[in-house]
Amino acid sequence: AGVGRHDTPLALDADVRLTKHAELTRCAKRQMACATPQLTAWVTDACVRYEHDAQLSQAVGRLLGALLMLRKHGPLQEGGDAEVPSGKGAVPPEEETGKSANAATETLLLQALLPLMKQHRPNAQIQRDCCSAIGCYARSACDAARRVARCGGTKALLFAMRSQIQKAEVQTVAVAGLRAICGGGRACIKVLVAANTAPMLTAVLKRHEREMQLQADGCAVLAMLVLPQSIAIGGGGRVS
């Protein structure tokens, strides 16, 4: 009597397991962040080496996506512990070096991910995982969205939509990725227009009219293509 539902031994044991899992996850992220240079070199080579093996390519694609997100939010960013010098707008040289290294690595990872999608266009699982990775990365920051647009990520998403037109799960993450790219600003929206995004997107919206998230993201993209200066982007950003 008097013991709450959350104070039971079973609930306490579940809390302990969740805490241990969180600690293991943080530890794994730290280890991956430290090993990112070696992993990047290996995974970009693996994309070519295993390009004809769909199962291995799928695993490599997921690893590429994980590495992309680590480079944006990893606990061990280069120059992350450097002291900020006094003076308005001053940036530590170590931080600038770290950002440049991150940008180069992210570009390398994207350049490995996109050919993987091209090689396995009929594979819905690979297309979905890679589209999801591109979207998550583009959503993480404006510079990430611009990098995706520069590297050809827009066309990769559109080709995935075309090759998997009947797969709602692929369309949902691909359209979300297009919306994330719009967050990079007017230059990114111009890339979407030049890639003939509107006709492909219209066809997808018509075919999957019961997919609410897809409809929401798709309508947002179409609106931003038409009114790029006045439509707010999801996530609190605004195209400028």
In the predicted model, is pLDDT for residue 46 greater than 50? Answer: yes
In the predicted model, is pLDDT for residue 192 greater than 70? Answer: yes
In the predicted model, is pLDDT for residue 213 greater than 80? Answer: yes
* Mean pLDDT, the chain, whole residue set: 75
Q: How far is CA 59 from the centre of its chain?
A: 16
Please give the pLDDT value at position 113: 87
Residue pLDDT, tens place only, 72-104: 554 333 333 333 334 444 444 444 445 666 778
Top pLDDT among 105 and 230 is at 105
pTM score: 0.68
CA dihedral sign, ordered 199, 201, 202, 207: positive
In the predicted model, is pLDDT for residue 138 greater than 80? Answer: yes
* Residues contacting 187, CB < 8 A, separation 6+: 146, 149
Please give the pLDDT value at position 103: 79
Find the mean pLDDT for residues 209-236. Answer: 78
Cβ–Cβ < 8 Å for 169, 124: yes
3-class SS of residue 226: helix
Find the mean pLDDT for residues 116-121. Answer: 90
In the predicted model, is pLDDT for residue 3 greater than 50? Answer: no
